[in-house]
Structure 1
Amino acid sequence: MARNREKEDVESRFNPPVSISMADSSISLLKLISILIIFVVGVVIGLVSSSHIDRYFTFQGDEFNFKNTYFDTEQFSHDGQKMVVNCDGEDCLSMESFVRLRNLNHRLRDDELFWRASFVPQKEELPFRRVPRVAFMFLTRGPLPMLPLWERFFSGQDVEKYSIYVHALPGFDLEVSNSSVFYRRQIPIAACRMGSVSLVDAEKRLLANALLDFSNERFVLLSESCIPVHDFPTVYKYLIESIHSFVDSYDDPTRYGRGRYSRRMKPDIKLADWRKGSQWFEMHRALAVKIVADTKYYTLFKKYCKPSCYPDEHYIPTYIRKFHGALNANRSITYVDWSQMGPHPATFTAGNITEGFLESLRNNGTRCSYNSGKTSICYLFARKFDPSALEPLLNITAQVMGF
C-alpha cells in the first residue's frame, strides 16, 4: 500500500492533471496576445509621432525659408517692435507696390488684369501722398512718329502729374533711350484688328493697366497720329478740374449708326440705347473702372457686333449713354476733320502746318460746355497728322502752343 501511494505521488508530479495543464496554456496564450497588442500599439504610436515630428520640422523649415525669402532677419530691432522689410520680389506686399505697379511687363492675363483693375477702395482717408495724374494712353500700330513733339510737351513737367502707356501690335518694341519719358512704358499686348472687338480689348487693356496706378485720375486715349494743341499745364488743369468725362456719344439714324444695331441684343440693349462716337475718348477714374469691370454688355458686343459693326465706335458710347450719361460731357476733346465726307478723316501733312492752322485748332470760334459754364477751349488734342508734319510742328510749337 505504501509503495502504491509513493508511486502515485511520483506519477502525479510528472503527469499533472489535464485541467491544470489547459489552464496554464490559456494563460500563456493571453500573455502572447497581450504582448502582440502592445507591440502593434507601440508601432502605431511611433509612426504617428514620427509623422508629427516630420511635419513640425517641415513647417519650421518653411517658416525659416519664408523669413529668409521676404525679410532680412538682421533688420529686426532688438526690442522686437520694429521691422524693416527688405523685399526684392515684384510680388512683395507693400503700399508702394500696391498703389503703383513699378514694372509694366507683368504676366497677368486680361481677365486677371481687369479683375485687379476694378478694385475701388472704400476708405476715404489715404495712407499715402496722392497727386492726381493724367494717364496718356497711346494705341498704336507701330512707331510713334510724333514722339519728339510729345517729348517736348512733357519736358520739364512734374512727373507726378502724368503717366504714359503704350499699346502696339505684337512684335513691335518701342525703342527709346532710357532718358525718354516713354522708356519702358509699353504694356503687355495682344493682337488687335480694325473693326473687331479686339480694339475694344486693347482700349480696356490700356485702361486697366493705367488703373493699377491709384494716382491716375484722368485717362486719355490717343493714336500715333495725335498731337497736343495746348501746353501741359493747360491740359492738366482742364482735365483734373472737369466734373465730366469727354466721350463722344450720339444717335446716328443712318446705316452707319442705327443700321449697325442687332436686335439680338434685346432686351439688354435696345435701339433707343444705341449710340455712336469717336474712339478717342477721355474719362474720369470712376467711369474707367466701370468700363473695365463690365462683362455683360461687352459680351453682347463681342457676340453680335461683328466687324462691319465696328464695336470700338459703339460699345463705350452706348454703355455710357445707358448707365452713366450724367457723368459725360458728351463731346470729344480730340479734333478730327471729317469735312471730306469719306470713310476716314483728313490727314494733315507738312503743307498744312501754319500758325493760323494751329490757332484754329486751339480756338475755333465756338464755345463748348465745361462744368456749369462755357469755354473757348474745345479741343486739347488733334489728329490725323502725317509724319511729314513733325518738323514744321517742332519749328512753331514754341511760338503758338508754348512748349
Structure 2
Amino acid sequence: MKNIDHQLRPQAPMKLLNVQMQLHNFFLYLLLLGFGLAFGITLSFYLKDISFNFQLNQFPVLNPLPNTTSSFSLVSTTPPPPPPFRVLTKKNKGRVGLTDFLRVPNASHDMREDEMLWRASMVPQVRDFPFKRVPKVAFLFLTRGPLALAPLWELFFKGHEGLYSIYVHSDPSFNGTVPENSVFYGRRIPSKEVAWGKFSMVEAERRLLANALLDFSNQRFVLLSESCIPLYNFTTVYQYLVGSTQTFIEVYDFPGGVGRGRYNSRMMPTISLAQWRKGSQWVEMDRHLAIQVVSDRKYYPIFKRYCRGSCYSDEHYLPTFAHIKFSRKNSNRTLTWADWSRGGPHPYRFGRVDVTVDLLKSLRNYGQCVYNGRPSDICHLFARKFSSDALDRLLRFAPKVMGF
C-alpha cells in the first residue's frame, strides 16, 4: 500500500496544475471573446455610418420640409445668401460693421416691396444711438410727371445739405431726366402706376415712407404734391418740424356723403363708423408714426379690400389710422394750406396772375394755431395748388417774402 500511495502522490500536483491552466485558458477565452464583441460592435457602427454618408452623397441635398416629424433634417452646407440690403466691399471682406449697416441704399434700389417694408419697419430698442446723428426732414413728393416747381424748391434747399432728404414717386410712364446738379437728381424711387384719388395713392405714400425710413437720420416726414410750394425758408421749416412733439394729420368727422357716406359696413368690426375719419392726404408725421404706417397689417388690408368706388382712401386711411392709434399725439390739422372757398371737388389752382406779394403774405399770416400745446402764429408751412406758369413770379417774390 505504501508503494502504491507513494506512486499516486506526484499525480496530485499535476492535476492541480492542469486545473489552473484550464481556468487560465477559460479567462483568456472570455477576454478574447469580449474584445471581439466590442470590436465587432464598433466596426458595425462605423460601417453603417460610412454606408449612410455614401448613400447621402449620391443624391442632391434637400431642404427640410415644413412641419416635418423626422428626428433629423438634411441641411445644405452652402451658407444662405446675404440679405439684399447687405453691402459687401473689398475693404470689409464680408464683415458688415455699423457703417455698412447704416449705409443708405440708393433711391433707385432693387429691393422688392416686401423686403423694403420689412427693413423699414425695424425699430432699435436702445434709444441712445452709438453714432453721431443729425436729425433730417424727409420731403416726399408725389407727382404725375416732372416736378414743375423744382427751381423754387432748389432755392429752398440751397445751403442746407445734410439736414434734409428728398424722395420722388412719379408715374412709371414718366421717363424725364433731371440735371445732375439738381437736388432732385437720383431721388426717384422705384414706383408703380398711381391712380390719383384711388387706393393706389395710399400704396404710393407707403412706398415713399418706407424708402425714407431706410435712412435712420430721417426723423420727420412731409408728404407733398407736385403743386406745393414752401411758405417759409428752410431754417424756419426745419426748426418747426424737428422741434415738434406732434404729428400734423388733418382729422375730422364729416357726417355728409363725402365723409361718413363713404364708410363701408363690411369694415366692421375692425373699423366702426364711429372711428371713421376724413382729412387731407398731404400730411406730416414723425418717425414713430411712419413706422407704424408701413408696418400696419390690421387696418391697411381692410381699406385695400373695402374702400373702393366712391371711397377715396387717401382722404380716409391716414386720418382714420391716426385717430384710432395716435389721437392724443396728433394735432388734427394739416401743414399744407389750400383754397376750398370757391367750391367744387378740388381746391383752387393759382396761376401766374394770382401770385402776388400780398397773396404770399396772406398765406403766411393765416391766423393762429396750436403748436406743441401752445398758440402759434405759424399755421401752415406749405401751400397748394400752384400751376407751372406761376413759377417765374414765385421765383421773383420768394426771396423777398419767404427769406430764401
Taking a change above 3 Å as real, the CA distance of residues 194 and 50 of structure 1, as seen in their structure-2 partners, is closer
Alignment of 1:262 onto 2:264 = yes
Q: State the partner residue of 1:103.
A: 106
User: Could you tell me how far apart the structure 2 residues matched to 1:251 and 1:176 are?
Assistant: 41
Equivalent residues in 2 for 1:224-373, closer than 5 Å = 224-364=226-366, 366-373=367-374
Taking a change above 3 Å as real, the CA distance of residues 44 and 344 of structure 1, as seen in their structure-2 partners, is closer
Alignment of 1:375 onto 2:369 = no
Q: State the partner residue of 1:155.
A: 158
Q: State the partner residue of 1:85.
A: 92
Deviation at 1:195, TM superposition (A): 2.9
User: Could you tell me how far apart the structure 1 residues matched to 2:309 and 2:100 are?
Assistant: 39
Residue identity matched to 1:99: L
1:120 to 112, 115, 123: 123
SS for the counterpart of 1:160 is: coil
Tell whether the 8 Å contact from 2:134 to 2:217 is kept in structure 1 after alignment: yes
Taking a change above 3 Å as real, the CA distance of residues 264 and 104 of structure 1, as seen in their structure-2 partners, is same
Tell whether the 8 Å contact from 1:141 to 1:169 is kept in structure 2 after alignment: yes
Deviation at 1:182, TM superposition (A): 0.8
User: Could you tell me how far apart the structure 1 residues matched to 2:204 and 2:181 are?
Assistant: 27
Q: How many residues align?
A: 336
1:345-387 deviation digits (Å, cap 9, x = unpaired): 00001111111100001112x1100002111110100000010
Deviation at 1:94, TM superposition (A): 3.7
Deviation at 1:108, TM superposition (A): 2.0
1:219-252 deviation digits (Å, cap 9, x = unpaired): 0000110000100000000000010000001001
Residue identity matched to 2:126: K
SS for the counterpart of 1:137 is: strand
Tell whether the 8 Å contact from 1:220 to 1:282 is kept in structure 2 after alignment: yes
Deviation at 1:99, TM superposition (A): 2.5
User: Could you tell me how far apart the structure 1 residues matched to 2:56 and 2:88 are?
Assistant: 28
User: Could you tell me how far apart the structure 2 residues matched to 1:175 and 1:93 are?
Assistant: 34
Q: Normalized per residue, which structure has more helix?
A: 1
Tell whether the 8 Å contact from 1:174 to 1:186 is kept in structure 2 after alignment: no
Identity %: 51
User: Could you tell me how far apart the structure 2 residues matched to 1:126 and 1:192 are?
Assistant: 37
User: Could you tell me how far apart the structure 2 residues matched to 1:384 and 1:180 are?
Assistant: 23
Residue identity matched to 1:369: V
Taking a change above 3 Å as real, the CA distance of residues 181 and 96 of structure 1, as seen in their structure-2 partners, is farther
Residue identity matched to 2:92: V
In structure 2, runs of 5+ residues without a counterpart are 1-42, 58-76
Q: State the partner residue of 1:389.
A: 390
In structure 1, runs of 5+ residues without a counterpart are 1-37, 53-60, 73-83
Taking a change above 3 Å as real, the CA distance of residues 160 and 199 of structure 1, as seen in their structure-2 partners, is same
Alignment RMSD: 2.6
